[in-house]
Structure 1
């Protein structure tokens, strides 16, 4: 049980590390403007696609450890849904747009491919299931600190996701930054939770 929890925690940390480093070093890519999903496009796109898949699968597996460690099926289910949606985000890529990869149209296409539509749906599940998990954890976990941290994380994620949605629709120049803040807040909470449960179970 502890092994899958540690693996899930490490996967959440690695996911953030990969997109931060890859985003800052990718030619033609703007971390301030472009979403993390755009990193799955272009010659180095396999790296972010693998990041989605590995992180998603390991977190899905960690959900079983969460169930064993907490005996809270709703919390484990929310984390499993998050992991599966993250996996789908890697299996189905977004369409080129808004200047990335280099040579792509600057604007947003009038119509999207089936892959992009699935990716969009999976992304919505990702960004809604994680605050749901944090909200459940606020009531399910023992300890005032974990309850408070989880509750604050749930609220922060919902606010940031709403802001990201507006930024994406308006193609704000800081869309990528807002999404990165959302991911870092959520993935940090999840990594710490899984690590704490792993340490407690030995």
Structure 2
């Protein structure tokens, strides 16, 4: 294995590790944080309060690992005859990673009564940081399902229907979860108690898709013939 192959492999391994680390961190924090309800409150709210730096670091680390994954995707797919997947796929995955970094830098406003003593919903942003958090999160929430669609189209063109279907399902599931979570955090009476659950479901769907894509690429590069998102088409 030459140095280029080793570098690409390490970058893809960052994508395999990012999701489990991020999810494990917010699950542990949500379980031990006083007054925090994982079913009700968003992941971003863990960045508030005295121990909020832990979640801020979690966001930044996961974002850096995802940006590394995007670079690995670009390197691994550079021989692909489909420019949409080669160029736009990594860019969109990278945008998701940059969003995570920004979420760690710019903290959100309180919502749904957390931290204790704060209102269920603020009528306007409490700070520029909170406004940037929401704006940049929206960019990431659009970029991730768009990446799923880009790789689904690539897979369909290569007759890899299983991965294409999974990618489309990931885009739909993620988007649906985020929409429901947004409505819940907006204090929809029927949904507010489960906003955290909806968001966590969406985020887990996103990380599962990214991790499996990175893993499939790694397996292909080791010589195992795999259909799916990451398999570059060999030129004849």
Q: What TM-score range do you get, normalising by the shorter chain?
A: over 0.9
TM-score (norm 1): 0.94
Judge conservation of contact 2:185–2:195 (CA < 8 Å) in 1: yes
Alpha-carbon separation, structure 1, partners of 2:212 and 2:24:
15
Superposed CA offset, 1:64-120 (max 9, x none): 1101212311111110111111111111001234322233x2321233110000000
Q: What does residue 155 of structure 1 align with? A: 172
* Residue in structure 2 matched with residue 133 of structure 1 by the alignment: 147
Q: Is 1:5 the counterpart of 2:25 in the alignment? A: no
Structure 1 counterpart of 2:185: 168
Q: TM-score scaled to structure 2, two decimals?
A: 0.81
- What displacement does 1:8 show? 2.0
Greater RCO structure (CA 8 Å; 6+ sep): 1
Unmatched 5+ residue regions in structure 2?
Answer: 1-7, 79-85, 223-236
Q: How far is the alpha carbon of 1:7 from its aligned partner?
A: 1.2
Inter-partner Cα distance in structure 2 for 1:44 and 1:154: 33
Structure number having the greater helix percentage: 1
- Whether contact under 8 Å (1:78, 1:129) holds in the other structure is yes
> CA contact under 8 A between 1:2 and 1:199: conserved in structure 2?
no
Unaligned stretches of 5+ residues in structure 1: none
1:170 Cα shift?
A: 2.2
Contact 1:53 1:87 in 2 (8 A): yes
Equivalences, count: 201
The answer to whether residue 191 in structure 2 is matched with residue 177 in structure 1 is no
Runs of 4+ aligned residues of structure 1 deviating over 6 Å after TM superposition are none
Distance 1:157 1:13 in 2: 17
Distance in 1 (alpha carbons) for counterparts of 2:175 and 2:197: 16
* 1:192, distance to aligned residue in structure 2 (A): 1.0
Q: Which residue of 2 aligns with 1:121?
A: 135
Q: What residue is the counterpart of 2:66 in the other structure?
A: 59
RMSD after superposition: 1.4
